Chains A and B, each alone.
Chain A
Amino acid sequence: MSESQLLRFSTAGSVDDGKSTLIGRLLFEAKGVYEDQMASLQKSSINRSTGPIDFSLLTDGLRAEREQGITIDVAYRYFATPKRKFIIADTPGHEQYTRNMATGASTADLAIVLIDARKGVLPQSRRHAYIASLLGIPYIAVAVNKMDLVEFSETVFDQIQKDFSAYAKDIGLKNLAFFPISALDGDNIVERSARTPWFKGTPLLEHLESAPVAEDRNFTELRFPVQYVIRPNLDFRGFAGQLASGVLKPGDEVMSLPAGRVTRVKELPTFDGPLKEAFPPMSITVVLEDEIDLSRGDMLVDPNHVPHVSRRFAAKLVWMLDEAGGPNRTYLLKHATQTVPCEIRRIRHRVDINTLENVQAEKLELNEIAAVVMETRRPLYFDAYSKNRAMGAFILIDPISNLTVAAGMIEESTPESVEPLQLRNLEFVGEANESATGTQLTNAERFARAGHYPATVWLTARRAVAYLLERRLFDLGCQVHVLADDSESHLLPELSRVLSNAGLIAICSIASPDPSERDRAAGFAAANRFLEVPAKELPARDDDAVEVIIKRLEDLGVLRRKDRFERGEGI
């Protein structure tokens, strides 16, 4: 028992398509229903006079809901087989409860979408599929229920499979599996049903036991949001948190955000002795080699694969409050272990969940889904939700009522989705070269004065290297300035252009790997005056890394040879 895995799945279905019956059936088959619960069930069934034992009553929790005869919130259910322990997030299929479905889907590894065989793919089934896709559930099991009422017709099943697959393709859902079942009679739940000889797949429960767990786990890019600092005495400082992605071992190099300091992991202490290795979703404590300043909300990341750092990003929101919301209001945004004030800068469009059409919208109502541009007061360190669920998810909280008003998923930024801030009242002169209009200075003159050509160094990650390089170049007599993208990465290309025009070496310390910004910055620079230095090409030690960059600037002809600097020439 103690070595089985955990699979979390959500169920979504409409009021009458037998979802609660299916869950009751799964619990019953896996012996997750106790005798006294069965007895209480029989008692309740009589109250509602719905004939024989009604499995759905196992999952219809609260009094008020039992009275209404529908489930109105998310209920969690548990059962286990010898292979796995399962957590079901049972969510209602009722139209106005999109928010509950999204809640249940947020932690799920797999979703069961129920379709009534008699009715085929209804708008409700599409909504469930869309929310599963929006919340990034990696596996979808489509249970075509009530097959007993369509005489176990292969034609009916095939048509539903075809219709649903077509829709799933439109919304980018992958890993679909279809099951012809009768939750009431138990067909294809535990064993292959004799009534569907044409069905070649596995029964539903077997599929649940074998679907890969946490398919979206990422072991390559370290993301460790600092949750709490453990400091029992002056000799111990541990950074506690749950590993969002990546693997961490003693000796590993890590970079702190926002400071950009690079250090190494000294130890991973636990109550049960030190760990050799930590991986997601472990809750761990990290002790670092160096005394660096780190507190809740900060993050340790892989220096070679840093997350986006920005105050502005595109996202999808699911509105969860019965009061409308939208731009020009302050909300609190909770992402990883950070909570920051924010605004919805702009609603790009609302998504009509039935037609998938984009609709103009001024505000967001309950259960509506929209593409927005968010702006936070402090920068967030994030990845796109589609790449890393823990690093792309956030909630919005109303600072007055304290209610959770929306769930958000950060999208991959594109120039169309997040337009850069405009630098107003700044007129750029042309390229920093002789043909530029207006200026009477030539680059050769600037070179003669400064001892180097104006240039842009595009340095991804390793903030510490950027500042060390600035120091070294300054000491060599260069005019140099670091542009860090803490505030607004989209401005860096324009700012680097201004600095170049003034004859400086602009070091852009950029966390965002967004290629469009790089291209823009490279476009502004004159030929051979743009140096891109990906972090992975640099040695681990900051000093060595700086030497490599200086060498490359010399190779480009931006700097004179070092020996000449050392002899004091050209300064």
Chain B
Amino acid sequence: MDSRTLSHLRALEAESIHIMREVVAEFAKPVMLYSIGKDSSVMVRLAQKAFFPGKLPFPLLHVDTTYKFQEMIEFRDQFAKDLGAELIVHTNQKAIDEGANPFKLGTSKCCALLKTRALLDALEAGGYDAAFGGARRDEEKSRAKERVFSFRDKFGQWDPKSQRPELWSLYNSKVEKGESIRVFPLSNWTEMDVWAYIELENIPIVPLYYAKEREMVVRGNQLIPLEHNMPLAPGEKPQMIMSRMRSLGCTFCTGGIASDADTMPKIINELVQFRRSERENRIIDHDQEGSMELKKREGYF
């Protein structure tokens, strides 16, 4: 390779850093959505690089549904502490107090209250005019068309039909008061890129991504981890299964996969062999065709 050619990971890194600096230069009050997952870990590393030797010039915001894995919460608190970053945790406490959970409400409604509503409330409360998210365009069909700077109206809603054209790396950051931009610095990364970068950069991730014996319930073709007193269907019996999480969400709605990939090289190797997309194990995407697009229109990330 030409000595003055960037590898694809370094080219993606340069693009993401440019995006982050652009946001911090042009917006009054940015925030970074931090979901604790591998994409968030990469996004935070890129932010450290973008503003080195300074600290992150924005807080991290975690929307906590209270149904996250315990390992995630422990990781989150340690990670923010090590980083010296400001961490804001927001929960839709009213909905939790009223007993919101996916078994009672169904996954769509539960997500709407605990994630979408909670997120919109947190953004409004903080007066943030720009919010970074770790979504990638390769994750899901509706994301493939979303802009890097994705406009949201006063109600936090996305209109896929009237997106601003986005050319070169000239991002339009003009918003009125109350409107905002969701920014996706990892837009052009793939799942493989994220893993390869985590390995290259030795970035800490939640141990749930590594395989170990876990207590699981086999439900259809999903492996559901047993946490938060998940109600069992008749005939279901928990068993110890060598497994790991390929993407992280709430315990009820994140399926694991049977795997013995307990190191980073094994995970990457598994991914190369893999013929199934990562969100397959995310139950919310399968509610109905185009379900992610509907959620996004309402303000979901």
> What residues on A are CB-neighbors of B165 within 8 Å?
99-100, 102-103, 320, 404, 407
Which A-chain residue is minimally distant from B143 (CB atoms)? A61
Decide yes or no whether B59 CB sits under 8 A from chain A.
no
CB within 8 A of B144: which of A77, A213, A285?
A: A77
Decide yes or no whether B104 CB sits under 8 A from chain A.
no
> What residues on B are CB-neighbors of A37 within 8 Å?
277
Decide yes or no whether B115 CB sits under 8 A from chain A.
no
Are B21 and A404 in touch, CB under 8 angstroms?
Answer: no
Among the 9-residue stretches B61-69, B186-194, B231-239, the one with 4 or more Cβ atoms under 8 Å from chain A is B186-194
> What residues on A are CB-neighbors of B170 within 8 Å?
334-335, 393-395
Smallest Cβ distance from B196 to chain A, in angstroms? 5
Interface size on A, residues (CB 8 A): 76
Are A61 and B6 in touch, CB under 8 angstroms?
Answer: no
* Contact residues of A between 216 and 262, Cβ < 8 Å to B: 217, 219, 227-228, 230-232, 236, 238, 240-242, 247
Q: How far is the CA of A213 from the CA of B5 in the complex (A)?
A: 9
> What residues on A are CB-neighbors of B166 within 8 Å?
103, 404
Q: How far is the CA of A231 from the CA of B289 in the complex (A)?
A: 48
Residues of B that sit less than 8 Å from A by CB: 1, 4-15, 17-18, 21-22, 24-25, 48-55, 137-138, 141-142, 144-145, 160-161, 163-170, 172, 174-176, 187-188, 190, 192-193, 196, 199-200, 268, 274-277, 280, 289-290, 293
> What residues on A are CB-neighbors of B190 within 8 Å?
78, 80, 85
Residue from B9, B10, B145 having most chain A Cβ neighbours under 10 A: B145
Smallest Cβ distance from B1 to chain A, in angstroms? 7
Are B4 and A84 in touch, CB under 8 angstroms?
Answer: no
With A76-B187, A281-B14, A332-B174 as contacts: A393 and B167 at CB distance below 8 Å: yes
With A6-B12, A320-B165 as contacts: A80 and B144 at CB distance below 8 Å: no
Are A85 and B168 in touch, CB under 8 angstroms?
Answer: no
Smallest Cβ distance from B198 to chain A, in angstroms? 11
Are B25 and A227 in touch, CB under 8 angstroms?
Answer: yes
Are B15 and A84 in touch, CB under 8 angstroms?
Answer: no
> What residues on B are CB-neighbors of A404 within 8 Å?
164-167, 172
Q: How far is the CA of A73 from the CA of B147 in the complex (A)?
A: 11
Q: How far is the CA of A4 from the CA of B12 in the complex (A)?
A: 12
Q: How far is the CA of A4 from the CA of B15 in the complex (A)?
A: 16
- For the complex of A and B, the 9 pairs showing the least CB-CB separation, nearest first, are A232-B54, A6-B8, A402-B174, A283-B17, A34-B277, A106-B167, A85-B8, A271-B52, A63-B290
Are A62 and B160 in touch, CB under 8 angstroms?
Answer: yes
> What residues on B are CB-neighbors of A281 within 8 Å?
6, 11, 14-15
Are B167 and A80 in touch, CB under 8 angstroms?
Answer: no
Q: How far is the CA of A37 from the CA of B139 in the complex (A)?
A: 11
Decide yes or no whether A291 CB sits under 8 A from chain B.
no
Q: How far is the CA of A329 from the CA of B244 in the complex (A)?
A: 58
With A64-B161, A74-B145, A394-B170 as contacts: A228 and B24 at CB distance below 8 Å: yes
CB within 8 A of A279: which of B4, B7, B200?
A: B4
Residue from A73, A100, A241, A390 having most chain B Cβ neighbours under 10 A: A73
Name 19 interchain pairs, CB-CB below 8 A, sorted by A: A4-B8, A5-B7, A34-B280, A36-B280, A99-B165, A106-B167, A213-B5, A217-B4, A219-B4, A227-B22, A228-B24, A242-B14, A281-B15, A282-B10, A283-B18, A393-B170, A402-B172, A403-B172, A407-B167
> What residues on A are CB-neighbors of B55 within 8 Å?
232
CB within 8 A of A87: which of B6, B52, B142, B188?
A: B188
> What residues on B are CB-neighbors of A61 within 8 Å?
141-142, 144-145
Are B176 and A283 in touch, CB under 8 angstroms?
Answer: no
With A3-B7, A76-B137 as contacts: A35 and B276 at CB distance below 8 Å: yes
Q: How far is the CA of A524 from the CA of B8 in the complex (A)?
A: 54
Are A397 and B172 in touch, CB under 8 angstroms?
Answer: yes
* Contact residues of A between 67 and 86, Cβ < 8 Å to B: 72-78, 80, 84-85
Are A232 and B24 in touch, CB under 8 angstroms?
Answer: no
CB within 8 A of B174: which of A4, A64, A389, A397?
A: A397
Q: How far is the CA of A81 from the CA of B290 in the complex (A)?
A: 29
Smallest Cβ distance from B20 to chain A, in angstroms? 9
Q: How far is the CA of A5 from the CA of B17 in the complex (A)?
A: 18
CB within 8 A of A390: which of B15, B137, B168?
A: B168
Are B192 and A76 in touch, CB under 8 angstroms?
Answer: no
Q: How far is the CA of A127 from the CA of B73 in the complex (A)?
A: 54
> What residues on A are CB-neighbors of B164 within 8 Å?
403-404
Are B168 and A270 in touch, CB under 8 angstroms?
Answer: no
> What residues on A are CB-neighbors of B50 within 8 Å?
240, 283
Decide yes or no whether A44 CB sits under 8 A from chain B.
yes
**1/0 per residue A388-401: CB within 8 Å of B?**
01100111010100
Which A-chain residue is minimally distant from B161 (CB atoms)? A64
Are A2 and B9 in touch, CB under 8 angstroms?
Answer: yes
Smallest Cβ distance from B83 to chain A, in angstroms? 13
Are A282 and B174 in touch, CB under 8 angstroms?
Answer: no
Q: How far is the CA of A103 from the CA of B172 in the complex (A)?
A: 13
